[in-house]
Structure 1
């Protein structure tokens, strides 16, 4: 028998960390020298300064109306004075982040860090933003694509057991990992969404913010690696309309509409509506997407000091599930057709309804209040086939399972913000509270393993009759979570450009899981905990272009697990997890804020990490209907992160990221089976990097053309060993690294009052085959085993035609 193993392409070598730091420090010294030589010329020739109340931030000069400029007389010769007629200059201020025609890669502020409009250069935190121009240039239609532009963020695949998570609906969407720890909680305009919202549509997304490190002080239950905040498009006073048609590989067809402006002649009533329809197949067999998304928004400006907005979102998604099964033989990945889906046709249907009401009032120049309330209902129905490695030599086995999910959440938040002085010190005080409630109900049933006829070495989909689900296998899972918190934060501006930040949060958490099978009574194990967590930071703006900062943060929140469970050996509820972090870094801004660099070192420690107890260790049982979990006592993540984004020269935009992350177990679990001290945590590559650059031609005869490209690199990582033997657990499997190359070209021009643009993107230009994260399963006595992961997308093309008015 001829057996061929999968051979990943040899990854590029990254320069050493010490060399990277040397290059970065050299840039920090040389860039201000070049900036000082260029800035005075730009300021005189093409910049104007905002009034003092706008913090004297320079902005690009408004674009001059071509007709008005052509009609104005010009001096006939040197030394001759000509009096020009008064003319009106019109244009869009390019630093308005909500301007639909804004082309900036750098945003001046990000509210995720402090919930205030504090400039990033005055915030002692590491906050990164992905602007809408980046999303446009890269044709981003999913969250994982956007997060490639932020250092220290990767995507981790779920194992097959993750489908027990009632919010995931059985869909194998990868989970973002920030600074080594998975983050399944997302925020929308600083307000909590349901967990596992990584699959949300992007037609109404303005930008994406990532706050590095624990963010629990302002947001409660958040993984310590960081939080992801989705900033949505807001109603605008100036009418704007956009129609975008995208088409690409694997029969991708996506239409999106964006419209905003006043309602009729009412300047105090603004609307915005975003719509998208996406239909596509996949490079993987039996996988498809059919999605409809609509997001209306209405804003009523009651007075210059008071406004209220109502936002709604509806998403209906039908798709084909892919478990991501990867065949392995004697510990190596087999080379099989990359398109082959080892499961069978597994339809999934999801519906999500979201509503939000926000109102704000400005009492005076110093004090304001803002209140939000949201309701979210999500439903999912799945009819799935899970492939498993052969129990005996020969045929891959499957399990037929049905999942029905219903999840309801509602949450509210109130913030009071004040600005005042005490003894010459300027304060920005934030007082607030929040409450979050989740009801998650899951009904599931499955069949024993059966063999549909797929040969392990020669896979072919053969006709088969699936066994029927039996009533005795039906299981009901229910989870109720309540959390509320009170917090206070003070930002103080001291002399000599020193900025202090300090805050405290009190958080209370209550959970009531309930599990029972069809013939068994329900059992519940309620738990409740509370804690007070601090956050302190200091920043010194040594120069207008240079800030140095440090912070210390703690967090507290529930362990997020794939299914309701208890601790092995004690049957006690899984305790909350906590974390603490020290961070030091520096930020630079050049060319009036159009180019920003952030360099940071962090030391993050997380405790009480829940791990599913592998069944094949022979230690399972004794947990009743609940899943058994072990606790890794402590894990530490240390690393260096570099982010560079912005405009180097007129028309030349760039994004560069690098992260070197070491995540290791420092205190193992009490059984000694998992988490030996010094062991690298699974699913986290040590080295990651990305580069993206575009150039819009400035020459008159080429104006409107744009070209660009990028590179994404991810180093080796350890796989998660799921349901395996102790010998394999102590001998972890390494997942090969990869790199992909992308290209873009576009052309735009004005056609009457409209702007028309065409664009073509190519992803994975070199057509590399790779996997992002693996969960390795057991093997039979013949060495036939398997893993679960996300198959990397091969070379793809995506075209776009857009009309804006």
Structure 2
């Protein structure tokens, strides 16, 4: 009997083994026959999948007999689905499979397996508005992946941007009307994050990282493809959100930490109809956090629904939304006065007690915010596709906003508080129509985007004026002496809504509404002159129509602008090493101004052409060792001209003669030298100065918006791959900056914020379904500051714990 059972078991195991020895294999290339590495291949409705090797080859083994649908997906390419039938345990060779480049819609399919270089994802359809690999793009950009953010337990947008080379916070999100989002220095110029999935998206508060797939920081003037409404001369920041994918899954996560941090996060993806290729994804987060100071908090609820519908192989639709309800106290920066001497020259002389907030939790701002986008993609032919995009944004501010300003009248480093009750709203609409082509003329490959763009912004402001509300000294003193009255006063100024409302009763409430429109046509073409040598050429025609105050035609004006772009790129080693150079352009619309001596009669309104910036840049990009070493080294020189200044021959005239120069070097490396170890490092050095101006205070000085001259960042993360420590990992990194001027004027003095280096460390355990992590931010409890004519203290040492479960 025992022998019979053994024989029966042997036959059963043999039959089971033989029933699963079938396999499918093939090779993946693009339409130029270039073999694609790390392409995802999955068998739908199973857990079977694979990725292509460096030769573009894949193999999926142990497949049961039956009929299947094979899904082939690669970021920036159109997903291809292939029906296969496995019979008689055969080895099915599909031969060569060609993927065609296209935009990112729902096709970031996730399969089991290890992706190399998790901190770098340098293929995107947004940077060039074309599906272009980084190594063949003449523009420099940094990407911050969600894997990098997860390894650092990032809970806010400011910490996420510390991973971008050459980016530094100027001041935190204030939540105030109009420009309440955070400001950042980039290549010597200030910029705010105003782009979501390549389209305008407003955020008066901070952006919630719960829905971030990656952040793309484009370097240099980028008006040719994106216009001037969402970019600066230093570049722009694009947030790429999470999108639906084929399958069902999700994640639940809870994070808690020092200073009252608690965040619960959920991510859920499912098919609403598999037969109709209709998929839905929902990301949501609720966050509460207090301040390290004596007062201050922020709480927010965030929800992001998204929907993808693939009607056919030619037509697909997508919808994305982000809805935030937030309430916070605004950070009360110390504003330094450029027009009056500052008594203190640095923090030691100032005697600043940075644990004081000079506000209360009774004075808050509410920041409801919504962003919505609809996308329709239609394949016109094998070489052309149509992309229609609609973006709507709305952001509001309601509540109390205050700031502290150094008038230099009362002495003893006294700062005067001003407060307003905010009630403002900004709404934007953007409509784009893009035609994207990939074709050959003679033997030259052309990748082209031709686009039409309409942008509208409408702002409504019903806020009160700013009222004097007492004085403070940085060490904690307070008095009620109004610097604008001759008598010495000692009134009380309680930091409560009742107290503030009483003082604001005498302030007028604004009734302001303004509007502007931008109409644009742009074209960009990447021409492969040879397999290794390409040129990029682009041009934008821009029509700016400013209505200003809609009740008055006096401030209306219109301007036309042309923005060119050109680049050359040579790959000595195809897809591994490229040498590039570019000429990029940015512009800014200039409002008309009154000129002429009033004694000679009425002044005349004079119009000006747009202010311009041109960048020359060259450098090297690498992609070595099967995508394990990505590096970019570049040198840039940006010259801004045509700034409106006072005519040196007449104080009543204005001319376009102001100039600013910003130049520097940047270096970024993303490496995966061995399995489990990922490294990211960056260094930047920027030289900026105002070279021509009518303001002697700033001539040949570094602009305050330029931030620190030197910035550097590093993060390394290692996860053990085998043995008793399998699944355990550690992370370590640091960020640093040179000292910076937050006041730098010839006659009224300087104020310097010192340099800093802040270290961070983490430990974690990661299993198949869950992850537990601990992160120590500012490990050595460094006291450091940031600012832009302001002094803004940063968070001391903080411990963060996280547990997450994937399903």
Give me the TM-score of the superposition, normalised by structure 2: 0.79
Q: State the alpha-carbon separation in 2 of the partners of residues 681 and 265 from structure 1.
A: 55
Instruction: Select the residue among 160, 180, 184 that pairs with 1:176.
Output: 184
Q: Which moved more, 1:204-213 or 1:140-149?
A: 140-149
CA contact (8 A) 1:567 1:574 kept: no
Alignment of 1:70-109 (within 5 A): 87-88=62-63, 99=110, 104-109=118-123
Q: State the alpha-carbon separation in 2 of the partners of residues 266 and 285 from structure 1.
A: 57
CA contact (8 A) 2:190 2:706 kept: no
Are 1:703 and 2:726 an aligned pair? Answer: yes
Q: How far apart are residue 513 of structure 1 and its match?
A: 2.5
Greater RCO (Cα-Cα under 8 Å, separation 6 or more): 1
Q: Which moved more, 1:736-745 or 1:378-387?
A: 378-387
Q: Which moved more, 1:288-297 or 1:328-337?
A: 328-337
Deviations, residues 462-511 of structure 1 (Å, cap 9, x unaligned)? 97344421455333443312111101111111225101111111011122
Alignment of 1:422-571 (within 5 A): 422-446=441-465, 448-451=467-470, 454=472, 457-459=475-477, 464=494, 465-466=499-500, 467-471=502-506, 473-495=508-530, 497-514=532-549, 524-544=554-574, 545-558=576-589
Alignment of 1:707-722 (within 5 A): 707-720=730-743
> SS in structure 1 opposite 2:569?
strand
Cα 1:385–1:119 change in 2 (3 A) is closer
Q: How far apart are residue 662 of structure 1 and its match?
A: 0.4
> SS in structure 2 opposite 1:217?
helix
Q: Which moved more, 1:86-95 or 1:788-797?
A: 86-95
Q: State the alpha-carbon separation in 2 of the partners of residues 463 and 499 from structure 1.
A: 66
Instruction: Select the residue among 355, 359, 363 that pairs with 1:343.
Output: 359
Deviations, residues 85-142 of structure 1 (Å, cap 9, x unaligned)? 9624999999766538775222140223311111111111112211110111112233
Report the equivalent of 1:274: 283
Are 1:600 and 2:634 an aligned pair? Answer: yes
Report the equivalent of 2:237: 228
Report the equivalent of 1:727: 747
CA contact (8 A) 1:719 1:732 kept: yes
Q: State the alpha-carbon separation in 2 of the partners of residues 449 and 543 from structure 1.
A: 65
Q: State the alpha-carbon separation in 2 of the partners of residues 93 and 641 from structure 1.
A: 36
CA contact (8 A) 1:59 1:94 kept: no
CA contact (8 A) 1:481 1:510 kept: yes
Deviations, residues 193-238 of structure 1 (Å, cap 9, x unaligned)? 23x6561212111001111111111111121211111111111111
Alignment of 1:228-247 (within 5 A): 228-247=237-256
Structure 2's unaligned 5+ residue stretches are 1-24, 49-59, 76-107, 337-341, 480-491, 597-602
Cα 1:683–1:476 change in 2 (3 A) is farther
Report the equivalent of 2:665: 640
Q: State the alpha-carbon separation in 1 of the partners of residues 584 and 570 from structure 2.
A: 18
Tell me the C-alpha RMSD between the 2 structures. 3.5
> SS in structure 2 opposite 1:214?
coil
Q: State the alpha-carbon separation in 1 of the partners of residues 179 and 505 from structure 2.
A: 23
Task: Name which one, 1 or 2, has greater alpha-carbon Rg.
Answer: 2
> SS in structure 2 opposite 1:125?
coil
Q: State the alpha-carbon separation in 2 of the partners of residues 270 and 479 from structure 1.
A: 39
Report the equivalent of 1:743: 761
Q: How far apart are residue 382 of structure 1 and its match?
A: 2.2
Report the equivalent of 2:177: 166
CA contact (8 A) 1:185 1:192 kept: no
Q: State the alpha-carbon separation in 2 of the partners of residues 514 and 353 from structure 1.
A: 24
Report the equivalent of 2:681: 656
Report the equivalent of 1:368: 385
Report the equivalent of 1:75: none
CA contact (8 A) 1:376 1:409 kept: yes
Q: State the alpha-carbon separation in 1 of the partners of residues 141 and 580 from structure 2.
A: 12
Report the equivalent of 2:170: 156
Q: State the alpha-carbon separation in 2 of the partners of residues 800 and 630 from structure 1.
A: 57
Q: How far apart are residue 550 of structure 1 and its match?
A: 0.7
Deviations, residues 544-596 of structure 1 (Å, cap 9, x unaligned)? 3210011112222336xxxx996798776786331111110101111212320
Cα 1:363–1:677 change in 2 (3 A) is same
Are 1:146 and 2:160 an aligned pair? Answer: yes
CA contact (8 A) 1:636 1:663 kept: yes
Q: State the alpha-carbon separation in 2 of the partners of residues 158 and 477 from structure 1.
A: 26
> SS in structure 1 opposite 2:787?
strand
Aligned length: 690
> SS in structure 1 opposite 2:464?
strand
CA contact (8 A) 1:485 1:507 kept: yes
Report the equivalent of 1:382: 399
Cα 1:48–1:180 change in 2 (3 A) is farther
CA contact (8 A) 2:351 2:474 kept: no
CA contact (8 A) 1:106 1:594 kept: no
> SS in structure 1 opposite 2:463?
strand
Deviations, residues 629-666 of structure 1 (Å, cap 9, x unaligned)? 99881111111100101312111100110001101112
Report the equivalent of 2:262: 253
CA contact (8 A) 1:654 1:692 kept: yes
> SS in structure 1 opposite 2:150?
helix
Q: How far apart are residue 319 of structure 1 and its match?
A: 0.6
Are 1:405 and 2:428 an aligned pair? Answer: no
Cα 1:455–1:486 change in 2 (3 A) is closer
Cα 1:393–1:680 change in 2 (3 A) is closer
Report the equivalent of 1:298: 307
Instruction: Select the residue among 680, 686, 691 that pairs with 2:709.
Output: 686
Cα 1:607–1:727 change in 2 (3 A) is same
Cα 1:565–1:749 change in 2 (3 A) is farther
CA contact (8 A) 2:742 2:791 kept: no
Report the equivalent of 2:610: 576
Q: State the alpha-carbon separation in 2 of the partners of residues 651 and 535 from structure 1.
A: 40
Cα 1:551–1:774 change in 2 (3 A) is closer
Q: State the alpha-carbon separation in 2 of the partners of residues 455 and 493 from structure 1.
A: 63
Q: How far apart are residue 289 of structure 1 and its match?
A: 0.8
Q: State the alpha-carbon separation in 2 of the partners of residues 255 and 529 from structure 1.
A: 48
Q: How far apart are residue 679 of structure 1 and its match?
A: 4.8
Q: How far apart are residue 266 of structure 1 and its match?
A: 3.9
Report the equivalent of 1:112: 126
> SS in structure 2 opposite 1:475?
coil
Deviations, residues 316-364 of structure 1 (Å, cap 9, x unaligned)? 0001112222797533333343220123442000111222110001122
Cα 1:393–1:431 change in 2 (3 A) is closer
Cα 1:772–1:673 change in 2 (3 A) is same
Q: State the alpha-carbon separation in 2 of the partners of residues 207 and 411 from structure 1.
A: 22
Cα 1:187–1:388 change in 2 (3 A) is closer
Report the equivalent of 2:210: 203
Q: How far apart are residue 432 of structure 1 and its match?
A: 0.7
Are 1:186 and 2:202 an aligned pair? Answer: no
Are 1:770 and 2:784 an aligned pair? Answer: yes
Instruction: Select the residue among 125, 141, 150 that pairs with 1:127.
Output: 141
Q: How far apart are residue 459 of structure 1 and its match?
A: 3.8
Cα 1:659–1:241 change in 2 (3 A) is same
Q: How far apart are residue 285 of structure 1 and its match?
A: 2.7
Report the equivalent of 1:318: 327
CA contact (8 A) 2:466 2:507 kept: no
Q: How far apart are residue 774 of structure 1 and its match?
A: 4.0
CA contact (8 A) 2:189 2:705 kept: no
> SS in structure 1 opposite 2:767?
strand
Q: State the alpha-carbon separation in 2 of the partners of residues 62 and 738 from structure 1.
A: 46
Report the equivalent of 1:79: none
